[in-house]
């Protein structure tokens, strides 16, 4: 393939990846890995390495806008990043020795779960009436976020349960290179009872740190190709910028359903190609 055409395809795919990552909190690798493996035939480990760089760029692009708007809970993000970072390093070290077909099957299963997470019933307003969690109170994790009807406060529950789930999210991030935003959002939204918008934006904030921890391992092993990463990073930043604007102002329910259908299709392709040894 001509290098100019390849660069254009990578850039366009990265824009879509950044848009999806910003709207759902899943990270841009959900689109980048299938694009590189199924669409362009690259090795799975190089795709994961590029996806990690993508996740860092997505997080950087979207998190800035969310923090400025006062939605992201930085204290929660910094606390939970301890678990995700440790898990990500362990996952990346293990992934180097796993067969690429096996990684593809795991990736496909995680994509199905991610699609279900996108369209499920969300915890929109948090758990305002819940009793104070002593640990959340001690760590000052309870917070507020702005809405069209004024500022809404929320209280954090089951801090250690969410912390444990973040460790698993970090391991999957290290193996698959997708930031594991679905598990992060599930831990914060369902387990810790944090409002969905806060969960999504805080997940975006955390994804970059988690991916960076894994990317160091892949870089040392030579699985991050600058030629692939170069067109991906500006594309993802562009998509993440527009995605953050859409999330702030629009009802994205229909977009989430469309994305869920797309992700299910990609997951079937990844599982099939992983089982048949085509990846």
Quote the radius of gyration of the chain (alpha carbons, Å).
Answer: 18
Name the residue among 164, 260, 248, 166 with its Cα closest to residue 210: 166
pLDDT tens for each residue of the chain, 279 residues long:
688 899 999 999 888 877 876 676 566 677 788 889 888 889 889 999 998 887 777 677 667 777 888 888 999 999 999 999 999 999 999 988 899 899 999 988 988 887 787 776 566 665 555 566 889 999 999 998 888 778 888 989 889 999 999 999 889 888 887 766 667 877 888 888 888 788 878 887 888 888 888 888 899 989 999 989 999 888 888 887 787 777 667 665 776 777 778 788 888 988 999 899 877
Spatial distance between the Cα atoms of 146 and 48, rounded to a whole number of angstroms: 36
**What's the pLDDT score for residue 252?**
58
- Bridge partners of 143? 154
**What's the pLDDT score for residue 90?**
93
Checking 260-263 for CB contacts under 8 A at 24+ apart, the result is 260/115, 260/116, 260/118, 260/119, 261/115, 263/30, 263/111, 263/112, 263/114, 263/115, 263/118
CB atoms within 10 A of CB 201: 29
Spatial distance between the Cα atoms of 266 and 61, rounded to a whole number of angstroms: 25
**What's the pLDDT score for residue 62?**
65
Strands (DSSP E) contained in the chain are: 143-147, 150-154
């Amino acid at each position: 393939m001509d290098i100019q055409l390849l660069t254009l395809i990578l850039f366009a795919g990265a824009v879509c990846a950044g848009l999806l990552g910003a709207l759902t909190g899943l990270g841009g690798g959900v689109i980048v890995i299938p694009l590189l493996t199924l669409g362009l035939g690259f090795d799975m480990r190089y795709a994961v390495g590029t996806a990690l760089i993508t996740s860092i760029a997505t997080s950087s692009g979207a998190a800035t806008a969310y923090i400025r708007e006062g939605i992201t809970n930085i204290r929660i993000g910094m606390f939970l990043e301890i678990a995700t970072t440790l898990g990500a390093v362990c996952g990346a070290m293990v992934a180097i020795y796993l067969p690429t077909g096996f990684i593809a099957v795991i990736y496909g299963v995680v994509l199905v779960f991610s699609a279900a997470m996108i369209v499920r019933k969300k915890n929109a307003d948090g758990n305002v009436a819940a009793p104070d969690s002593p640990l959340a109170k001690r760590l000052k994790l309870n917070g507020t976020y702005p809405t069209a009807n004024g500022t809404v406060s929320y209280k954090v529950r089951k801090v250690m349960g969410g912390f444990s789930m973040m460790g698993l999210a970090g391991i999957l991030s290290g193996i698959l290179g997708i930031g594991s935003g679905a598990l992060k959002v599930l831990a914060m939204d369902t387990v810790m009872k944090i409002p969905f918008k806060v969960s999504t934006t805080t997940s975006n904030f955390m994804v970059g740190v988690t991916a960076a921890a894994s990317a160091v391992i892949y870089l040392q092993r030579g699985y991050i190709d600058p030629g692939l990463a170069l067109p991906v990073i500006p594309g993802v930043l562009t998509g993440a910028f527009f995605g953050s604007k859409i999330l702030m102002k629009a009802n994205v329910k229909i977009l989430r359903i469309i994305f869920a259908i797309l992700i299910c299709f990609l997951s079937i392709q990844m599982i099939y190609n992983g089982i048949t040894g085509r990846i």
